Amino acid sequence: MSCLVGKDQLVWGAYCHPSPVALFPAPTMPWSLLLPPLLLLAVSGAQTTRPCFPGCQCEVETFGLFDSFSLTRVDCSSLGPHIVPVPIPLDTAHLDLSSNRLEAVNESVLAGPGYTTLAGLDLSHNLLTSISPTAFSRLRYLESLDISHNGLAALPAESFTSSPLSDVNLSHNQLREVSVSAFTSHGQGRALHVDLSHNLLHRLVPHPVGASLPAPAIQSLNLAWNRLRSVPDLRDLPLRYLSLDGNPLAIVGPGAFRGLEGLTHLSLGSLQGLPRLAPYGFRELQGLQVLDLSGNAKLKWAGPEVFSGLDSLQELDLSGTGLVPLPEMLLLRLPALQSISVGQGVQCRRLVREGSYPRQPSSSPKVALHCVDTRERAAKGPNAL
């Protein structure tokens, strides 16, 4: 069944485009690390193994017309703590040290020929409770660092200044407080994606005014499933993607997102506790395109002014919230809105009907929402529509 919800009528219609909302972009890693090995093989490359430190696997990927370009991936995972420091080939692009029960890393563990040019390092699933401030200081080309699933309780300031990082994964640790300055870098301008989800964060310390290094270029920040009770002060960060899913945010009020005019995607799903949306809480987010408020069964809101200022919003996910019946009012508030999800599996798209071309300045086109219940469609099978 599908329905058409107009400004003041409810009509049954027959067509829809469900539109899945992709909130977070795939992290930008060096493309060679992203492509599955088989694809590389198919595109232009070949893969061979080469002699390697005992226990580790060294795989060489060559590509280019005459195999002129090669990268070595070294896998020393699941071998135990004795494996470090491990010698690696000179052209190593990626080193996997995951699942080794490592308790500490410092610069002597990550040193030697081959380390200077490393682009990717995986330290996930170890027992790290701290990292030395200079641990990564010799990794001058490191772009992607995975320290997820460890026991880190703190991050030293300026831990990553020497590395031109674009991806840092610190999810699933024990971090309680993180200073934004921990991510500053000498290498300027590179967009940084930081995953701090599933920690114990109750505070994010803003970058100090007048610090010697500029604020880090964090473009996407995942703070989901932490202990944040208010939206942290993220001014000065060139943020485009932000997730605060699963935090015990008490209120989103005026000024919550001050300084985040560049944000395009915001996720506030499954907030814990009794979250409240106050009028004008999103006012600063004039560039926001996607807002996810799904899974907030107890969300309280204070009328349509809540959505004031969201002039660029295209997709709004209100599924699993009590925020119905809103759609008609929202169409007036949100001039760019293209799709809304509401209730349990109902998806609506904006339709402009009876628009005449060229559009007369005087005649405003009739705007309506066209909704479809995806659960009923699923129940009826794929050919039902």
Ligand X SMILES: *[C@@H]1O[C@H](CO)[C@@H](O)[C@H](O)[C@H]1NC(C)=O
Q: Which is nearer to ligand X, 99 or 374 (CB)?
A: 99
CA gap 199, 381 in Å, rounded: 41
Q: Does 124 bind ligand X (CB under 6 A)?
A: yes
Q: Minimal distance in Å, beta carbon 255 to ligand X?
A: 28
Q: Is 173 in the site for ligand X (CB under 6 A)?
A: no
Measure Cα distances from 8 to 4, 45, 114, 355, 367 in Å: 11, 60, 68, 18, 11
The residue with tokens 């135990």 is 80
- Over the window 11 to 30, marking each residue x when it contacts ligand X by CB under 6 A and - when it does not, the resulting string is ----------------x---
Q: What is the DSSP letter of 363?
A: S
| Residue number with CB closer to ligand X (149 or 240) | 149
- The answer to whether residue 122 forms part of the interface with ligand X (CB under 6 A) is no
Residue 129's CB is within 10 A of a number of other CB atoms, namely: 14
- For residue 256, give the nearest of 219, 274, 292, 229 by alpha carbon: 229
Which region, judged by CB under 6 A, interacts with ligand X, from 86-94, 102-110, 176-184, 298-306? 102-110
Binding-site member from 1, 104, 153, 278 for ligand X (CB under 6 A):
104
Here's the x/- map for ligand X, 185-214, by CB under 6 A: it reads as ----------x-------------------
Is the CB of 145 or the CB of 372 nearer to ligand X? 145
Give the burial class of 1: count Cβ atoms within 10 A of its Cβ; 0-12 exposed, 13-18 middle, 19 or more buried: middle
State in angstroms the smallest separation of the CB of 153 from ligand X: 17
Contact predicate 373/345, CB 8 Å: yes
Residue 109 is a binding residue for ligand X (CB under 6 A): yes
Q: Give min distance, CB of 100 to ligand X, in A.
A: 11
One-letter identity of residue 273: G
The reply on whether position 166 binds ligand X by CB under 6 A is no
Q: Under the criterion CB under 6 A, does residue 267 sit at the interface with ligand X?
A: no
Residue 148 sits in the site that holds ligand X (CB under 6 A): yes
The two tokens of residue 97 are 């040290």
Pick 77 or 171: Cβ nearer ligand X: 171
Asked if 169 interacts with ligand X (CB under 6 A), we say: yes
Site for ligand X in 127-146 (CB under 6 A): none
> In the bound complex, what is the minimum distance in angstroms from residue 104's beta carbon to ligand X?
4
Assess 89 for contact with ligand X (CB under 6 A).
no
218 binds ligand X (CB under 6 A): no
Whole-number Å distance between alpha carbons of 130 and 285: 36
Residue 264 C-beta-side C-alpha neighbours within 13 Å: 9
What DSSP string runs through 210-258? T-SSPPP-EEEEE--SS--SS----TTS--SEEE-TT----EE-TTTTT
Our separate counts of H helices and E strands in the chain read 4, 25
- By the 10 Å C-beta count (0-12 exposed, 13-18 middle, 19+ buried), 325 is classed as exposed
- With respect to ligand X, which residue has the nearer C-beta, 179 or 243? 243
Applying CB under 6 A, the residues found at the interface with ligand X are 27, 104, 106, 108-109, 124, 148-149, 169, 171-172, 195
